[in-house]
Amino acid sequence: MDPKTVHTLILIFHYLFLVYTVAVITSYVVLSIISAKETVEYKKKNSFVNYSEILSSSISPSISIIAPAYNESLNIIENVRSLLSSHYVNYNVIIVNDGSTDNSLEKLIEAYDLVKIDYLINEQIITKPLREGIFKSTNPAFEKLIVVDKENGGKADALNMGLNISNNEYVACIDVDCLLLEDALQKMIKPFLEATSVKVIATGGVIRIANSCVIKDGKLIDINLPNSLMEIAQILEYLRSFLLGRMAWSRLNGLLVISGAFGLFDKRIAIDVGGYDTTTVGEDMEIIVRMRRFMEDKKEKYKVAYIPDPLCWTEAPDNYKTLISQRNRWTRGTIETLKKHRKIGFNSKYRSLGLLSYPYWFFFERMAPIVELAGIIYFAILVALDYVRWDYALAFFVAAYLFTLTFTIVAIFSEELTYHQYKKKGTGFKLLVTTILEPFILHPFILYAAIIGNIDYYFNKNKKWGKMTRKGLVKSKNYQDN
């Protein structure tokens, strides 16, 4: 290549970068504005809602909570107790013990007076077979509880078993170690019951980080900010993602993912699309995309709703190692889902799903780490060749950094104006300090995890998600997904 072509190529490269950056920033600005509008609207509307009536009504629809458990014996008794203490009337809890190798089942049988029952499963979705069978309690106090013991097949397979067993209209798929607030179910069911002209196929909930919070008898007693910066940084990340990102996408009816830790589904549709995909690590995103696609293909008006209230609290990784393996998995989940549904992307037949949601996820979620890595490598080459105009570079870095700060602070603002969960004195300062440090203490690790995720996806296909370790209440999350 002659020097001129090289020069032109480099120039094109530069402009592509610039365009990408401007596009990312614009999309964030737009999403923030939409989310602000939607949040105000939601808060206004919600101030009128009286949840007590739906709670007690005998005609409120039936819900099954499906919670897969794998080697959870340490906390399984308390976790189940928390799930059983919902204030909703018409619901049951299906715990799917997914081939645990510990004594989870024995502990459950003992704590809840379980006995094996005869139950013919309508195997609408093929799953791994039962192991010990299906259990119910002899104690009427736990009549809402069903425990299923099956052979190990992974989280998606366990959820599918739950879908087969449930006799109810709606299913709440959640992680067994999630703490659900008592009014979570009635809040989540509301969008389904309120819709008149569209069919709501699923409702997504918000995940809040429970690290350092005081939990007693399955109830959230006191909300605290953790001490470690890395955990606070994750709180900020969640606030940004849930209060800015998802809120806006729900307004655009473009949500592509419902957190696997807590979502409510129309069971009929979840089964009609074939349940969860057992071949991906991103089953929570994949099923939503598939359900959307199904509705688009049927040409029915539908919606994926979203409830921003802090209803579900869970432990986030408290060390970098678990964090990296969690994010690695999320990355692979996203890649797999987008690849599997490539047909949707840029396809006008799928309207906003194909022209807006999919491209956004592809470019700004899936490609972001790769673009960032390419940028870093390119920059490194320039440094090595001593081509860098340091004053220019500095200006770009400072601008990018300030954008990050702005969005995070806007997210904190949004939290303060809506739910104001971190009330204690001094927490505001801690949040701000972490905001300033987050790009250095959390982002590099997330980028690293995403890159490794890409490498694992392309070059290390057999990678199994590692066995999990846990210590007391603070757990590392390998099996459960957020």
Partner 1 sequence: MIDYHYFLNYYYQLPVVLKWVWITIIVLSIVVFLLIVFLKLLRLKLRRNEKITSEYQDKYEALIVAYLYSDIENEEATEEQKSIIKKIKSSIKDDFKRDIIVAILMRLRNEISGEMADTIQDLYLETGLVNSAKSKLKSDEWYVVSKGIRELTQFHVKEIHTEVEKLVNHKNREVRKQSQLYLINLFGFEGLNFLENLTTPLSEWDQIQLLEILQRFSNQKISDVTKWLASSNDTVVSFALKLVKIYNLYGVKEKLLILFKNHPNKEVKIETIQVLSNLQIVEAKEVIKENFETLSKEEQITFFKAFEDLFDIEDKDFLLQNIQHKIFDIKFISLKILKRLDTPLLLKLPTASSDLEYTKIVKFLQTH
Partner 2 sequence: MSNVKKIVLAEDNSTLSLLLKFKLEKEGYKLLVAKDGKEAIDIIEQHNPELILTDIMMPFISGLEVISHVRNKLELQTPIVVFSTAGQEEMVLKAFNLGANDFMGKPFSPNELVIRVKRLLGSS
The listed partner (partner 1, partner 2, none) that binds 89, CB under 5 to 8 Å by sort, is: partner 2
Nearer to partner 1, 163 or 323 (CB): 163
**Would you count residue 53 as binding partner 2 (CB under 8 A)?**
yes
Determine which residue in the list 43, 219, 343, 351 makes contact with partner 2, applying CB under 8 A.
219
**Would you count residue 20 as binding partner 1 (CB under 8 A)?**
no
Determine which residue in the list 26, 56, 101, 319 makes contact with partner 2, applying CB under 8 A.
56
**Would you count residue 219 as binding partner 1 (CB under 8 A)?**
no
In sequence order, what are the residues at sequence separation of 6 or more whose Cβ sits closer than 8 angstroms to the Cβ of residue 144? 84, 91, 92, 93
The listed partner (partner 2, partner 1, none) that binds 221, CB under 5 to 8 Å by sort, is: partner 2
Task: Tell me the C-alpha distance between 479 and 380, whole Å.
Answer: 37
Please count the residues of this chain forming the interface with partner 2, following the rule CB under 8 A. 9
E strand segments, 210-340: 214-216, 219-222, 262-266, 302-314
Minimum Å gap between C-beta 90 and partner 2 is: 11
In sequence order, what are the residues at sequence separation of 6 or more whose Cβ sits closer than 8 angstroms to the Cβ of residue 453? 327, 328, 329, 330, 331, 332, 335
Helix axis angle, 3-46 to 390-418, nearest 10°? 10
Nearer to partner 2, 3 or 140 (CB): 140
**Would you count residue 139 as binding partner 2 (CB under 8 A)?**
no
DSSP letter string over 230-250? HHHHHHHHHHIIIIIIIHHHH
Residue 87 C-beta-side C-alpha neighbours within 13 Å: 15
H-helix or E-strand spanning residue 36 = helix 3-46
Task: Tell me the C-alpha distance between 171 and 257, whole Å.
Answer: 16
**Would you count residue 390 as binding partner 1 (CB under 8 A)?**
no
**3-state class (DSSP) for residue 270:** helix
**Would you count residue 143 as binding partner 2 (CB under 8 A)?**
no
**Would you count residue 403 as binding partner 1 (CB under 8 A)?**
yes
Helix axis angle, 104-111 to 76-84, nearest 10°? 50
Determine which residue in the list 54, 156, 185, 316 makes contact with partner 1, applying CB under 8 A.
54
Nearer to partner 1, 194 or 297 (CB): 194
Residue 372: beta bridge partners? none
**Would you count residue 221 as binding partner 2 (CB under 8 A)?**
yes
Determine which residue in the list 4, 216, 299, 420 makes contact with partner 1, applying CB under 8 A.
420
Going by DSSP bridges, is the β-strand pair 170-174/145-150 parallel, antiparallel, or unpaired? unpaired
Task: Tell me the C-alpha distance between 475 and 71, whole Å.
Answer: 12
Minimum Å gap between C-beta 452 and partner 2 is: 43
Q: Which stretch binds partner 1 (CB under 8 A): 82-90, 217-225, 327-335, 402-410?
A: 402-410
Nearer to partner 2, 86 or 476 (CB): 86
The listed partner (partner 1, partner 2, none) that binds 197, CB under 5 to 8 Å by sort, is: partner 1
Give the residue from 293, 270, 69, 284 showing the smallest Cα distance to 164.
270
Nearer to partner 1, 383 or 436 (CB): 436
- Distances in Å between the alpha carbon of 99 and those of 120, 283, 438? 20, 19, 39
**Would you count residue 386 as binding partner 1 (CB under 8 A)?**
no
Angle at 305 between CA 304 and CA 311, to 5 degrees: 130
Minimum Å gap between C-beta 85 and partner 2 is: 9
Q: Which stretch binds partner 1 (CB under 8 A): 2-10, 102-110, 139-147, 407-415?
A: 407-415
Q: List contacts with partner 2 (CB under 8 A).
A: 52-53, 55-57, 87, 89, 219, 221
Contacts to partner 1 by CB under 8 A: 18, 44-45, 48, 50, 53-54, 56-57, 59-61, 118, 120, 122, 124, 190, 192-197, 392, 395-396, 398-399, 402-403, 405-406, 409-410, 412-413, 416-417, 420, 423, 425, 428, 432
